[in-house]
Each structure stands twice: as structure tokens, then as C-alpha cells.
């Protein structure tokens, strides 16, 4: 099924461009059977054409994508696909869908973010895999 999707990751800012994933992310991913060999990069205009969907981790990144010229209809908050948050989406409480940035916190923050991303990924695949 994954062959049907082109998945990439990038940031709206270029602070870490060219660098590897945070070691804590790599550790949490490995603990969950995922290999991260990602090199950070900044989103570019070509991405707006290459991808059908642009997933923002929080409202700030959502706004940044709009400011960078991404088509609004392609931008979604990633956690809006989490089936356990359907009530939050229905009530329009989008601020509750932000994925917190674990960068400045401890290791447990990376575990929590992994769980959030996993649930949203399952919902995303359920919606688009059929």
C-alpha cells in the first residue's frame, strides 16, 4: 500500500536544514520499529505542486504554509485525521489539534508525539487508502 503514496517531511523554517533527525526522535522511532534516516529540509514551492496534501503539525505551521503560498485546500492539520479527535474537529476547536514540539522537553515528550502521530497516520491511511 505504501507504494501508492509519496511521503516526505520538511519544516516551514530552515533552522535544521541539512541535519539529521533529533537523536531522541531516532530513539523513539527505533523503539517502535521505525528507521529514521531523514535529513531535515525546508519546504519549497515545488512541494506545493508535487504533493496532494500538506500536513501541518500545528496552527503556526498551517499559517506559515499559507504565507509561503501553499494552496489552502491542500493544507490540513495532521491530527485532524486522528479518529479519536473527531469531536474536536466537529466543534472547530482546531487549537486542540496542535502537535506539541518536543524539542525543548524531555524524552517522554517524544513518546507522546509519536503516539499522536501514529493515531493520526492510521486515520489518514484509513481515509485515503481505499
- Residue 85, domain extent: 2-128
Per-residue pLDDT reduced to its tens digit, 30-84: 999 999 888 989 999 999 999 999 999 999 999 999 999 999 999 999 999 999 9
Residue 60 maps to which CATH number? 3.40.50.2300
Counted domains in the chain: 1
Per-residue pLDDT reduced to its tens digit, 56-67: 999 999 999 999
Report, as an integer, the average pLDDT of 99-127: 93
- Give 54's strand partners: 75
Dihedrals phi, psi of 28, to nearest 5 degrees? -65, -40
Distance of CA 34 to CAs 14, 25, 60, 122, Å?
25, 10, 27, 15
Amino acid at each position: 500500500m505504501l507504494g501508492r503514496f509519496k511521503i516526505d517531511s520538511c519544516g516551514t523554517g530552515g533552522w535544521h536544514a541539512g541535519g539529521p533527525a533529533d537523536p531522541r526522535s531516532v530513539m523513539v522511532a527505533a523503539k517502535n520499529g521505525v528507521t529514521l534516516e531523514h535529513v531535515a529540509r525546508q519546504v519549497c514551492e515545488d512541494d506545493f505542486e508535487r504533493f496532494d496534501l500538506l500536513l501541518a503539525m500545528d496552527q503556526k505551521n498551517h499559517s506559515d504554509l499559507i504565507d509561503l503560498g501553499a494552496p489552502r485546500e491542500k493544507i490540513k492539520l495532521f491530527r485532524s485525521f486522528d479518529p479519536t479527535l473527531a469531536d474536536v474537529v466537529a466543534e472547530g476547536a482546531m487549537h486542540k489539534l496542535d502537535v506539541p514540539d518536543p524539542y525543548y522537553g524531555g524524552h517522554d515528550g517524544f513518546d507522546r508525539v509519536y503516539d499522536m502521530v501514529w493515531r493520526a497516520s492510521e486515520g489518514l491511511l484509513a481515509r485515503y487508502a481505499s
